[in-house]
Each structure stands twice: as C-alpha cells, then as structure tokens.
A and B are shown apart, each in its own frame.
Chain A
Amino acid sequence: MSATPPISRAERRRRQSGLALLTPSALLLACLFLVPLGLVTVYSVMTRGTYGGVVWQIDFDSYARIFGLPNEDELRDWDFIYYGVFLRTAVIAGLTALIALVVGYPAAWFIARAPRRRRSALLLLITLPFFVNALVRIYAWMLILRSDGLANNILLWLGLIKEPLTLIYTPGAIILSMVYQYLPFMVLPLYASIEKLDPRLVEASFDLGAARLTTFRRVIVPLTWPGIAAGLVLTFVPAFGNFIAPTLIGGSKQLQVGTLLAQAFLSARDWPFGAAVSTILGVIVLVALIFMVRSDRGAAGKGARS
C-alpha cells in the first residue's frame, strides 16, 4: 500500500470511469436501502400513531415492552412474553442451522472429494432447488405433513400407526421445512472450504497416530471452520426472519419474530413497536455477519502463519 507505483493516464481514467459506473447502484442503495432502514430505526423510538404511522415524539416504550419493563402510565407490569418469542425463534433457527450442518457436511465432503467432472454436476443438483419457488417448496411439505398427507398415508398403509399423527403445525415441521429450504446455503460454503483443505494434512494427522475422531476435531474442523461459520450464519439468518414457514406450517398460535413483525405492521398497526422488533432483528443479523467475516479472516491469518 505504501509505495504505490505511478499509474498511467489510461489507468487513472479507467478508475475514474469505474467510480462513475457505481453511481446508479449507490443512488439505489441510498434511496431504497439505507434511508428506509434508517427510517425504521428512527421510527422505533417514536410514539405510535392511531391508524398506523407515527407521531414525531421520542418514546422508548416499544423497546421497554420488548424487554418486558413495566410502565405505570399504561398499567403494564413486568412481562417477558417477547423474550419468549425471540428465544423460541432463536432456538428454532439455531436447530435449523445445526441440523443443516450435520446433514450438509458429509454431502459437501463427498462432493468436494468426487472426481472433477462429477463435482460440477453434483453442485448443480444442490443449487437447482434454490431456484424452485420457496413458497412452492413449503407447499410441498404441507402436502407431505398434513393429517391426510403423504407421510401419514404411507405410515397408515404400512400399518405402523392407526390414527394420523399431528405432524404439521409443530415446531418440528417448521424446522424440517426450513432445513430443506436452506440446505444449499449450508452446502455451498462448506464445499468451498473442504475443497481447499489439503488432504495431506489429514494424512499427516493419521501418520502421527491421531484417531479418526481426533483428526476430525483437531484438523478437519479447524481448517474448514470458515465454511462452517458461513453456512451456519447463512442458514440461521434467513431462518430467524422467516415469516412464510411459521405462517403456513407453524400454525398461528405460537408467534415467531417474523410473524410478530408482520402482525405489528399489518394487523396491530403499531409501527414503532414493529420498527423496534425489526431493529433488534437487524442488530442480531449484523452480529451474525460480523461473526462470519471474522471467522473467515481468522482462518486466513492462521493459514498464513502455518
């Protein structure tokens, strides 16, 4: 960085044209992304308007409600209901990410170690379902899990059960459909990491007498950590904000952050509260992304040292 070589006039013009080419997207991002997100953050500390919208008066009550603090003006006692919503959502999204990791890691390993020609075909097979409409994929799971759905039909036909089981409208159904939906986001970064893993390092670990489990824990996991971290974040984040799966497969009884948000804006018309939920969700996403970027950098540093 310090001793930059002198650049030619052509190169300078090239760089300037590059900056000019970025203007449309900069405008687009500013107007339709940064300003709207900023506005949501501002609204989260405003007073609720009667018919939606806000009254421009600073009020932190939305956050107080989410964090369960009492408010004497509104005759509200301590109330931890929204902790429950966030916690349930976090557990469901966390399990989704972990199950996707356990299911996806061996598959990613297999693909990364397959002959080169077959590898691209397998990767294509992983990516293709991503382009199948998400709503259609959830609908397919509804058809499988309903009380008169495929799963119950098969179990009844096999004589394993007498009565149809309640499969749909359970947390398990939400997790299953989200694992299904986000598996490509898990497998692709895992694949990228495993492909870079030098097989000789695994070999060396065995030669030095390490058991298979030890090799996995001490060599393979640390070296593919960037892929693991990226996969976990890329499945956890959309699962945390998912609104379609809990609505269609989770039933309406148990709120999740996504459904809570939709409710705040569409039926309760409590914009500051919805904005506060959205802001907290945004902060969680940001923390997850920082974790992902840091895991990547950390691994790069380690690689450089060794």
Chain B
Amino acid sequence: MSTSRWSRNGRGLLSLHVALFFVFLYLPIAMLVVYSFNANDVSMMTWTGFTFDWYARVFENLGLVSADQTQIAAGNAQLYSDPNLAPAVINSLIVGFASASIATIVGTLTAIGLDRAVFPGKEVYRGLVMLPIIIPDIVLGIALLVFLSSVGLPLGRGSVIAAHTLFLTSYVTVVVGARLAGMDRSLDEASADLGATPSVTFRRVTLPLLAPSIAGGFLLSLVISFDDLVIAFFTTGVGATTLPIYLFSAIKRNVSPEINAVSVLIVAMSMLCVVIALILRRDNRGASL
C-alpha cells in the first residue's frame, strides 16, 4: 500500500477524524443511557444522582410490577401513571410479530424466486422489490392511507400490519438474497445427481443452508417494524397506537425522564435482536466453510 506517500501528519489526522467520527456516532446514545439514570426530574440534563426510579415507573406503567413494590410516593405514582404505554407496547409486539412473520415467508420466497427464475425485466423487478425501502417513508405512508381509505378498509392494527409486511418483505429479500448469492450451487446439484427430487433438495439442502439468514431476516424485520413511526402514523386508526407513535406524541408534549427510560429499553431490545441475528449469520458462515 502506498500510505508512505501520504504524510505522517495526514495519517494522524485521519485517525483523529475516525476517532471523532465514532464518538459522534455513539455519544448521543451513550448520553441518553447515562442520563436515563439521572435522579434530577426538574432539569433532566443536570446530573444530581443515580436512580432506578424512571425504570421502575415504566415497569409499573407496563403493569410488570405493582406500585407498592417500586416505593414511589403515592402522589407521584398518580402523577406519572400512564395507561397508554402498555397498550402501545402490546400493539407494537402484535404488529411486529405478525408483519415480520408474513414478510419472512414472502421475502424468502422472493429471494429464492429471483435466484432461480429467468425472465425479461428481472433486474427491473429486483429494483421494484427494493423501492418500498428506498422511497421516503412518508410517500409510502400517504399512498397506503389514500388507498386503504378509498377502498374502504378500516384503519387499525390490520392496516399497519399490511403496510409493514410490504416494506419488511424488501428487507428479508435483501438479507436472504445476499446469503443465496454467496451459496455454493453445487450442493443443490449434488443432491439432484444423487436422485433427490427438487422438493426434497429444497427441504433437506437449500432450506437448512438458508435457515440462519431467514431467522436473521426475521429478527431484523422485527427491529425495523418496531422502529417505524411514519408509515404506522399514517396507516393506523383509533386504538391501534404503536410504541413509536406513543413516543412521538409524548415527545411532542414534553421531554421527561420516563421517556428516557422507555427509549433506552427500546434501544436495548433492538440491540439484543440485532446481536442474535449477527451471531446466527456468523455461525452459518463458519458451518459453510
């Protein structure tokens, strides 16, 4: 490599830039986590001491612990009790699992289909599959709102699931498609040569090799469904508020220590799913070598 031609100063500056770059990328999230334990409820960003209170209140609002267990003064508990949080979490879980499940099936079929089929306009179709995740989410959200209400379908949990299924399918197609592209076709051929029927080959060879990426695609879909505010915002109806919509309206009203705690819990859950997805992918790579 020709780094000798770049001056020593230049390389030092580059390392500094990259260090600052990663600080920039992670500092806001780290700050959010740290200050979610700040005891100061008047001025949230002035550190006064460590507390678990905000998490206790969130768990209490979720109905996971009862008020007397959290030892928060009765007056305060009244003030902070929020009946909307638990239904929002439940809605998000239902929407996430339903849409991620359907999208995982449809996306996997699409990836395999694109791998096998030969037809004019295949590249156009590949591009079309990607389009729902490339266009701004507000365009998609509004198009679905217009369509659903014109057809007369009720807006609610079902319409959010349909909307999420659409763009999650694109993500699963990408994830599974990437695995298929790196897969050794000779295994399929060997199976066929040894007399296996196409369906047996698919069940016994292709599917097991794809399984980790399918599971990974499912988990990432779950995270992305949990992440979506805009499309759910436009396609939801009364009584089907998802967690991001709840958070959005709470933030618009005011920032609060409880929101910090909820945010950190969301981040923790997403990271858990992503890490599992990555471990699955790595194991698979090891096995195929």
* Interchain CB contact under 8 A, B110 and A25: yes
Q: Which residues of A contact B6 (CB under 8 A)?
A: 212
CA distance A261 to B234 in the complex (A): 11
Map CB proximity to A onto B194-225 as digits: 1 under 8 Å, 0 otherwise: 00001000000000000000000000100110
CA distance A234 to B234 in the complex (A): 23
CA distance A248 to B140 in the complex (A): 21
Count how many chain B residues have C-beta atoms less than 8 Å from C-beta atoms of the other chain.
88
Contact A144/B31 with A36-B146, A203-B2, A285-B135 known, Cβ cut-off 8 Å: yes
Q: Is A247 in contact with chain B by the CB < 8 A criterion?
A: yes
* Interchain CB contact under 8 A, B139 and A241: yes
* Interchain CB contact under 8 A, B150 and A39: yes
CA distance A153 to B149 in the complex (A): 48
* Interchain CB contact under 8 A, A129 and B142: no
* Interchain CB contact under 8 A, B32 and A29: no
* Interchain CB contact under 8 A, B25 and A244: no
* Interchain CB contact under 8 A, B143 and A241: no
Distance in angstroms from A218 CB to nearest chain B CB is: 15
CA distance A21 to B251 in the complex (A): 43
Residue of A with least CB distance to B136: A241
Contact A278/B117 with A110-B15, A135-B247 known, Cβ cut-off 8 Å: no
Residue of B with least CB distance to A30: B128
* Interchain CB contact under 8 A, A282 and B116: no
Count of A-B contacts judged by CB separation below 8 Å: 244
Q: Is A274 in contact with chain B by the CB < 8 A criterion?
A: yes
* Interchain CB contact under 8 A, B166 and A28: yes
* Interchain CB contact under 8 A, A143 and B45: yes
Q: Is B137 in contact with chain A by the CB < 8 A criterion?
A: yes
Interface size class of A (residues with CB under 8 A): 35 or more
**Which chain A residues in 141-167 approach chain B with CB under 8 Å?**
141-144, 146, 148-150, 153
Beyond the given A19-B119, A110-B18, A137-B28, please list 8 additional residue pairs across the A-B interface where CB-CB is below 8 A: A15-B117, A29-B166, A39-B150, A135-B248, A206-B2, A248-B252, A271-B146, A282-B139
Q: Which residues on B are within 8 Å of A, measured CB to CB?
A: 1-3, 5-6, 14-15, 17-18, 21-22, 24-26, 28-29, 31-32, 35, 43-46, 105-107, 109-110, 112-119, 125, 128-129, 131-132, 134-140, 142-147, 149-150, 162-163, 165-166, 169, 173, 192, 198, 220, 223-224, 226-227, 229-230, 234, 244, 247-248, 251-252, 255, 259-260, 263, 266-267, 270-271, 273-274, 278
Q: Which residues on A are within 8 Å of B, measured CB to CB?
A: 10, 13-15, 17-22, 24-26, 28-29, 32-33, 35-37, 39-40, 43, 52-53, 103-104, 106-107, 109-111, 113, 124-126, 128-129, 131-137, 139-144, 146, 148-150, 153, 180, 183, 199-200, 202-203, 206, 212, 234, 237-238, 240-244, 247-248, 258, 261-262, 265, 271, 274-275, 278, 281-282, 285, 289
The 5 A-B residue pairs whose C-beta atoms are closest, nearest first, are A241-B136, A18-B116, A18-B117, A21-B113, A36-B147
